[in-house]
Amino acid sequence: MNKMTKGAIATGVGVALLLGGGGTLAVWNDSVGTDAGTITAGNLDLEARSGVWTSAHDPSTEIDVKSYKVVPGDVLTYTQTLDVTLAGQRINAVIEVIGDTVTDFEASNISVRNLQLSDSDGNRIAQIKKSGEVTASASFRFSPKTGDELGKGRDDVEAVYDFSKVQYKLRQVAP
Amino acid sequence: MGTKSIMKASALLAAAIVLGFLTVQGTYALWNKMVPVGAGTIQAADFRVSLTDLSTGVPIDMTDSAGTSALVSLKPTGSPSPGKPAYAGVRISNVTNAGSDFAVRASTGDVSITNVAPGLSGLLSVNMQAVPIEKTNCSAEDFAGISSSGSATATISKNSSAVFCFQILMTGDAPGGGSARVDVPIIVNQL
């Protein structure tokens, strides 16, 4: 065998060793799970069911406020059920009434009791700590003394009181 | 690094921290959700009352859109003369769009008789009477047995009416060409 042939064989063996060594290189290792589980966020949600207007003259009958026209002496009450979802061990929330009402009634001729909240037992509530139903109610009173003043016998005829921009806001508060 | 440079770097760091706190304070927020109340709009009724001269049958609103009281010119049945009264009548209708029961009381106020041409007003007097709503004209029978009635009153429920009849009496001979105007205010109050 001449020198050229010996050299070529030696080179081929070296290359073969290098290729084989690259595929089998390994060191010891091990793995275990952390067992930290999954973190899940809680929930805060508010849904308002359809509200109902009734008149003090006949509280058992629902009125359609779109067509019902109030007169002095009328007292209307709005009642609505809110579904509150609060999920979380440390979640507390309050419900606020936001947004402006718009009216052209004389302020002295009406009294509007803002929305009040009560739980299923009828107790007034300030802060909510768990999911459940909340009852909201408001009332509108058109004073029977409207028109008593001389020259104002037709005060507030065809006036409006617009609640359409009023919203409930369920807001998380620090525990 | 010199003392001056260290002080500058410390001041810069402190300013950054303060700014960081301020920024956090402004953006602090917790969960919230808003839903519309959906209570709609409350509307007041119109308090509309109409007056109809029985002789013409044409109704007009007692108060116009500007709040001015209407004037209904009744046409009596002829001219009164001694022993022969004239009659006129008006139908008062409660045509409100109120949502609830809305009864009203209509009543006449003080009669005013003024001369248009001299000498007649002192000879005239007026009786008035609420009559059944079916009446379409006024006559002597509406005042049978009534010696004097200076006022009329009626309660009118929603979408109903009342009729007031007027009897114009002349107690003496009228001067030639005399004429007078008789004003009878009608007042309607919500009950």
Interchain contact, B46 vs A78, CB within 8 Å: no
A and B: number of Cβ contacts within 8 A: 136
Residue A23 has pLDDT above 90, yes or no: no
Task: Please answer yes or no on whether B40 and A158 come within 8 Å at the CB atom.
Answer: no
Q: Which of A22-26, A68-72, B28-32, B126-130 shows the lowest mean pLDDT across its residues?
A: A22-26
Greater model confidence, A11 or B73: B73
Contact yes or no for B126/B168 (Cβ under 8 A): yes
Contact assignment for B39 to A72 by CB distance below 8 Å: no
Contact criterion met (CB < 8 Å) for B44 and A174: no
Residue B126 pLDDT greater than 90, yes or no: yes
Amino acid B26: pLDDT: 47
At residue B159 the predicted structure's pLDDT band, cuts being 50, 70 and 90, is very high
Q: Work out the mean pLDDT of chain A and round it to a whole number.
A: 88
Distance between CA atoms of residues B15 and B23, nearest Å: 12
The pLDDT, as a whole number, for residue B27 is 46
CA distance A84 to A119: 11
- What is the residue type of B138? C
Q: What is the mean pLDDT of residues A12-20?
A: 58
pLDDT of residue B23 exceeding 60: no
Q: What pLDDT score does B11 carry?
A: 65
Cross-chain residue pair B41–A162, CB shorter than 8 Å: yes
- A61-75, A155-169, B105-119, B173-187: least confidently modelled range: B173-187
Q: What pLDDT, on a 0 to 100 scale, did the predictor assign at position A175?
A: 79
Q: How far is A37 from chain B (nearest CA, A)?
A: 24
Whether the pLDDT of residue A147 is over 90: the answer is: no
Nearest to B39 among A51, A93, A142 (CB): A51
Task: Give ipTM to 2 decimals.
Answer: 0.76
- Rounded mean pLDDT of B115-142? 90
Angle at CA of residue B58, ends B57 and B61, nearest 5° = 130
pLDDT at B35 over 90: yes
Number of H helices, E strands in chain A: 1, 11
Mean pLDDT of B176-182: 83
Paired strand residues for A111: A141
Query: Is 70 exceeded by the pLDDT of residue A161?
Result: yes
Chain B residues near residue A69 by CB distance under 8 angstroms? 43-46, 96-99
Q: Is the pLDDT of residue B183 over 60?
A: yes
User: What pLDDT, on the 0 to 100 scale, is given for residue B28?
Assistant: 56
Q: Which residue has the tokens 């509309």?
A: B48
- Report residue A52's pLDDT band, with 50, 70 and 90 as the boundaries: very high
Chain B residues near residue A77 by CB distance under 8 angstroms: none
pLDDT, residue B147, reads 74
pLDDT at A62 over 80: yes
E strand segments, chain B: 32-36, 41-44, 49-53, 59-61, 86-94, 104-108, 112-117, 124-131, 153-156, 161-170, 179-183, 186-190
Written as six digits, the tokens of B13 are 């760091």
Residue A18 has pLDDT above 60, yes or no: no
Q: Residue A10: what pLDDT? A: 67
Say yes or no for a CB contact (<8 Å) between A71 and B31: no
Residue B106 C-alpha, separation from nearest chain A C-alpha, in angstroms: 14
Q: What is the pLDDT of residues B77-106, one digit of tens each?
A: 888 888 899 999 999 999 999 999 999 999
- How confident is residue A173, by pLDDT bands cut at 50, 70 and 90? very high
| pLDDT recorded at residue A91 | 95
Facing residues of A83 across strands?
A47, A133
Lowest mean pLDDT of A58-72, A151-165, B152-166, name the range.
A151-165
Domains present along chain A, CATH in parentheses? 43-173 (2.60.40)
